[in-house]
Structures are given as C-alpha cells and as structure tokens.
Amino acid sequence: MLKPDILACCIATSLALNIPGALAEETRSTLDDQQEVAVTIYNSNLALVKDQRKIKLKTGLNSVALRDVSAQIRPETALLRSLGGSLSVLEQNFDFDLLTPQKLLEKFVGKSVGIIRTNPATGVESHEQAQVLAASNGVVLKIGDRIETGIPGRIVYSDVPANLRDRPTLVVQLNNKTAAEQNVELSYLTGGLAWKADYVAELNAGDDKLDLSGWVTLSNTSGTTYRNARLQLVAGDVNRVQEHFPMAMESARVMKSMDMAASTPMSEESLLEYHLYTLDRPTTIAENQTKQVALLSATGIPARKELVLRGADYYYQSSYGDLGQKIKVGVFVEFDNKESARLGMPLPKGIMRVYKKDSAGNAQFVGEDRIDHTPKNESVRLKLGEAFDVTADKKQTDFRKLPNPAKGSSSFESAYEIVLKNAKKERVTVTVQEPIPGDWKILKSSHPGDKVASNTAVWKIDIPAEGKTTLTYRVQVKY
C-alpha cells in the first residue's frame, strides 16, 4: 500500500499531466539553441536526424516545445535524452497543424471573433462581434441577429490556439531532477530527405580511357533547415516496414534553389552490409533546396567499347525467312571498378552520363545509363545507344524439323546468314550474341564462336572499313 506522501505526489503528477494549463509555462527551443546536428540519409527517402540543443530546464515537470524539427518526422521514432543531465520523458506530442489564415478560422468555429469594416467613402472603421458558424468551403458568420457568408472585412482574433503552431513542433513533457542549462539530443527518423548519385564520364579520343567524377544530389523537402550538419549517406537497400499514416504536411514542394558545393571526395566505410559515405566538412541543407556535393573523382580509367548485335530465341523452332534489315547494333562501354584501374571505391546506384570531345575540343553528350550499387572489383557496363554506321541484315536460310529423338521431345535444324556492314572509315569488331534455347550444338560456322553460357553463343566478327562481313552458321536444337 502506498504511503500518503507518495500517493499525494502521484496524484499531483497525474493531475499536472491532464489538467490544461498545468504546464502553461512552455520552454521554447529553436534553432538558436542548436549546438550541432547530424544527418544520415538513406536511399529510400529516409533520414536519421540527431539534433543537439542547449536548453535551460527547471526542477520537476517541464513542457518543452522543440521547434524547427522536420515536418515529416516519424513521431514514434523520436528519442530525447540528456547528455550529462538527468531527465525522464513522460509524454510527447507532434504538432503539425500549422498556422495559416484558414486554419486559424477553422479553430474559431463556434467562437466569437471581431469584424472590422472600413467605409469606402469615408474611410471610417466600424467594429462588430461575430460568431463563426462554419469555415469549410467558405465562411458563415452570425452577426447580431443575421447570418452572413464570406468575409465582410478584417477578422480580429483574441488569441492563437495552443495547438496551432507556426513551425512544426515536437512538444515534450518531462521530469527534470536538477534546474540547470543542459545539453539534450533529439534523434528521430524522417521523410523528406533523399539523395542519389550522379556520374559524369568523359571518353578519350581512342575510346579506351575515361575520366569519371561522381556527385551526390541531396533534396530537402522535410520542412526545416539543417545548419552546418555533419552529413553521412548510406548506400544499400535497407529493409523498411511499410506503414500508412496520414500525411503531416504535403511533401511535394518546388525546390527553391540548387546549391553546387565543391569539395574533396567523400570518405567511405562498410556499415553492416551497406556502405557509409561521410562528408569531411559540415554543410547546410536548406529547406526546399537541392544541393550537390562531390563524391569521387578519377582519371585515366581503362575502358572498353563494344558493339553488340543480340538476337532472339524464337526463330530456332520454326521457319521465318527474313529476320530483319538494317538491324541496329548496340554501343556499350565497360570499365572495372578496381584500384589497379585507378578507381576501387564502392559506387552507389545512380545515372552515369558519358561525354566525348569533338574535333573542336567541345565535350558532347553521347549517352547515359543507370548503374546499380557496384561493389569494389566489379565491372560497370553502360549502354550508350545504337550505332549509326554499323548495321546488320539477318535471315534464316534453312529450316527443317528432324525426327523426334524421343517421345514427347522435338528436334530442329536451321541455318542463318548475318551480313554485318560498316560505313565507318576504320575497322570495327562486332560481338554477335545469339540466345539459343534447348539442348543445342553448332553444326557448322563460317567464323569461330564460343558457347559462353548454356543458352548463348557468341562470335567476335571483324568488319573492314567501309566494308562488310558475312557470318553463317547451322545449329541443331532439341527440346
């Protein structure tokens, strides 16, 4: 059984937490109290914010309004702790109902407001009291014994409702043991912060080397600014539980600025099965801003250009004849993400844009492709487009169905001719890839080829300058 003094203390605490006005003295904390802030941004519109502030607290119960937190904070993830002091959090509320003329009017439905009218002829102002009856899809007022719609003049309010804030605010009720100024840290997860990697590569004249620079593009639509933040980025596919909550604020905003921040490349380290990139200096991520910071830079990376003609598997089990004229040949560039290739840094997924200088020395855009997260010692392969001067004519020259080798199976034999044409003034090599289904073997071929996979045959065909080369082959397929 509780002692009388302990019971009285519990009752007093309970009443203080439930009676309006018991914590009327609210301690407000703004960005001016912020000592430092750290932001870790993930690939999937998620960020971890650690906001350290210096706040003066009294002994006992305190109501602290932490202003300028993210408008897209996930309140259930918020954690306030003292760095050296002693406090315990009793309750926290996230107020995202922001102060606007319409919101203020809605909060006064059923209450009285003042109406100030100005006589357009004399300029004399008159004052009346009105009761707000409705404020959705227009306003309905009761003025004296009459009902009016619309706003007849300026509306005067007696005060601002306590739960209507001009900035997103996390209100924390806590118990503090010692009255003193102390450092606290608020950590939380939030949406509205995202990043992506963008790369620019420039090929040399021989298409065998490239210079690469990587940029991180940050976007902030979270509803607040992170000043001089310690910035870290996590690359990898972090699993998240999908929950559906009402939107605290509209997340789609127009970016008001683009900030290009040149810096030294970011440092990188492993984090569980992900990669963590850390900017070596503080940076400000302003509200409604897109910012770019340097990620990496490397020159003279050995590269390989490849022209690829890829076929299909449907014509190996039926008669088709002509299979296409002036078929486009794909243009690919590949390089190794290795230290020996002057790179060797895990590359976050993003878009890589490739340029090449023309005869006048001007860099021209020649294609782009999206890369996935690429670990160290893996290769990056980019499809830049289709070749203009290298084409192919393809046809099936023979087809016949063979006697079934066994019950329930089929066997076919077919022959093909591929005429590869080169209108360029230099020799080129085209890689011909044929996806052949079933159990197959090449019976005859005009050029040596390789079986690089269970369903793929590959030929490397040289084509002379302004000339052509014909590849013919016969294949047997069993199903």
Answer whether 139's CB lies under 8 Å from 59's CB.
Answer: no
| Residue 446 pLDDT | 97
225's CB contacts (< 8 A; 6+ apart) are 31, 68, 284, 285, 286, 287
Domain assignment of residue 456, yes or no: yes
Model's pTM, two decimal places? 0.71
If you average pLDDT over residues 302-319, what whole number do you get? 95
If you average pLDDT over residues 33-48, what whole number do you get? 92
> 314 and 283 in one domain?
no
Report the mean per-residue pLDDT for the chain.
Answer: 86
> 229 and 318 in one domain?
no
In this prediction, residue 262 has a pLDDT band, given cuts at 50, 70 and 90, of very low
Domain assignment of residue 185, yes or no: no
On the question of pLDDT at 14 being above 80, the answer is no
36's CB contacts (< 8 A; 6+ apart) are 52, 228, 230
Domain assignment of residue 461, yes or no: yes
> 264 and 219 in one domain?
yes
Sign of CA dihedral 379, 380, 383, 388: negative
Task: Give residue-wise pLDDT tens across range 119-144.
Answer: 888 888 889 898 999 988 889 998 98
In this prediction, residue 12 has a pLDDT band, given cuts at 50, 70 and 90, of very low
| HSE-up (13 A, CA, CB side) for residue 311 | 26
Answer whether 474's CB lies under 8 Å from 415's CB.
Answer: yes
> Which CATH number belongs to the domain containing residue 123 in this structure?
2.30.30
Tally of domains within the chain: 3
Owning domain of residue 212: 193-301
Task: Give residue-wise pLDDT tens across range 402-436.
Answer: 988 777 789 999 999 999 999 999 999 999 999 99
Domain assignment of residue 182, yes or no: no
| Residue 97 pLDDT | 65
In this prediction, residue 479 has a pLDDT band, given cuts at 50, 70 and 90, of confident
| Residue 404 pLDDT | 82
Q: Read out DSSP for 218-281?
A: EEE-SSS-EEEEEEEEEES-----------SS-------EEEEE--SPPEEEEETTEEEEE-SS
Domain assignment of residue 183, yes or no: no
> 427 and 386 in one domain?
yes
On the question of pLDDT at 179 being above 90, the answer is no
CA–CA gap between residue 176 and residue 11 (Å, rounded): 18
| Residue 250 pLDDT | 40
> 260 and 135 in one domain?
no
In this prediction, residue 237 has a pLDDT band, given cuts at 50, 70 and 90, of low
CA–CA gap between residue 50 and residue 230 (Å, rounded): 10
Answer whether 52's CB lies under 8 Å from 188's CB.
Answer: no
CA–CA gap between residue 215 and residue 217 (Å, rounded): 6
> 268 and 119 in one domain?
no
| Residue 20 pLDDT | 38
* Higher-pLDDT residue of 266, 231: 231
| Residue 16 pLDDT | 38
Helix (H), strand (E) at residue 73: none
Domain assignment of residue 162, yes or no: no
If you average pLDDT over residues 327-344, what whole number do you get? 94
Q: Pairing relation of β-strands 428-435 and 289-310?
A: parallel
Q: What share of the chain in percent tops pLDDT 90?
A: 57
In this prediction, residue 474 has a pLDDT band, given cuts at 50, 70 and 90, of very high
| Residue 188 pLDDT | 95
> 410 and 399 in one domain?
yes
Place of tokens 């009105």: 130
Distances (CA, A) of 307 to 207, 281, 302, 328: 12, 43, 17, 10
> 388 and 310 in one domain?
yes
Helix (H), strand (E) at residue 16: helix 4-18
Q: Where are the beta strands (DSSP E) in 25-124?
A: 26-29, 34-42, 46-57, 60-67, 79-82, 87-95, 112-118
Helix (H), strand (E) at residue 145: none
> 444 and 317 in one domain?
yes
